[in-house]
């Protein structure tokens, strides 16, 4: 005998509730799961419930991981926190910051000192010690970070917060306007901090003149791979 089962997302910004069915003996209501929804693995965690008062979206649901006892246990993430005032980076995890999952990709006030406001992002490779972090004083807004231009050479990718406070990744080389010191992965990378930037005043684009030593022929390009070193 099958029964309806509803899945509500742990992330409060996701307001869709999915409806599926389960065998009565297998319906694990009130537990938390990672799901494949209509053939796509969801990056979120979902709580199974027996009833739902709104209008759910009927979907084909396959449990891919779980059950867990809470959203925090299900979202066993490692976190990388960026400070846009000092350009510092710290790492924590779901055990040492149980509320971090509610603030992913946001500038959030924490108990860290001397600067309390940090961008919270998910990372797969913590590169430093794990630090206990608490989310505090949500009523007190964080001051707006002042974006700066960063010229990054080499190969690989750069991940950073853009002017819309979105966490984005771009290939290198690049000139970016970022709200905090960027994270770079690759080889032969050089990061040079430039002037402040905004939507009104974007980062400058430089042109470079290349001269052929034999023919004295010149070419002009804005390829940022030539930014550093140059003579």
Pairing of strands 106-109, 167-171: unpaired
Residues 170-210: tens digit of each pLDDT: 998 889 999 888 888 888 888 888 899 988 888 987 777 88
* Average pLDDT estimate for 13-19: 87
Residue 231 pLDDT > 70: no
Residue 24: its pLDDT value, please?
60
Q: Where are the domains of the chain?
A: 2-74, 77-144, 148-196
Closest CA to 164 of 150, 139, 147: 147
Rounded Cα distance between 56 and 50, Å, is: 12
Residue 226: its pLDDT value, please?
63
Rounded Cα distance between 184 and 155, Å, is: 9
Residue 18 confidence class, pLDDT cut points 50, 70, 90? very high
Residue 133: its pLDDT value, please?
95
- Output the six-digit token pair for 48: 């199974």
Residue 38 near residue 19, CB atoms below 8 Å: no
Minimum mean pLDDT range among 21-35, 81-95, 108-122, 170-184:
21-35
SS3 130: strand
Residue 160 near residue 82, CB atoms below 8 Å: no
């Amino acid at each position: 005998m099958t029964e309806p089962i509803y899945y509500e997302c742990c992330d409060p910004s996701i307001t869709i509730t999915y409806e599926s069915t389960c065998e009565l003996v297998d319906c694990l209501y009130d537990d938390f799961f990672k799901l494949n929804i209509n053939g796509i693995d969801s990056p979120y965690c979902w709580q199974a419930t027996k009833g739902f008062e709104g209008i759910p979206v009927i979907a084909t649901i396959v449990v891919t991981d779980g059950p867990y006892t809470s959203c925090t246990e299900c979202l066993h993430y490692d976190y990388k926190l960026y400070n846009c005032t000092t350009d510092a980076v710290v790492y924590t995890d779901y055990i040492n910051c149980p509320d971090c999952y509610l603030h992913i990709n946001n500038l959030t006030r924490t108990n860290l000192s001397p600067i309390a406001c940090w961008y919270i992002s998910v990372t797969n490779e913590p590169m430093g010690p794990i630090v206990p972090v608490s989310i505090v004083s949500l009523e007190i807004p964080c001051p707006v970070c002042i974006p700066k231009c960063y010229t990054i050479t080499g190969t690989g990718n750069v991940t950073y917060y853009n002017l819309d406070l979105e966490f984005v990744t771009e290939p290198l080389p690049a000139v970016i306007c970022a709200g905090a010191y960027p994270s770079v992965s690759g080889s032969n990378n050089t990061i040079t901090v430039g002037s402040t930037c905004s939507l009104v005043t974007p980062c400058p684009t430089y042109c470079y003149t290349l001269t052929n030593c034999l023919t004295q022929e010149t070419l002009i390009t804005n390829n940022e791979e030539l930014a550093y070193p140059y003579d």
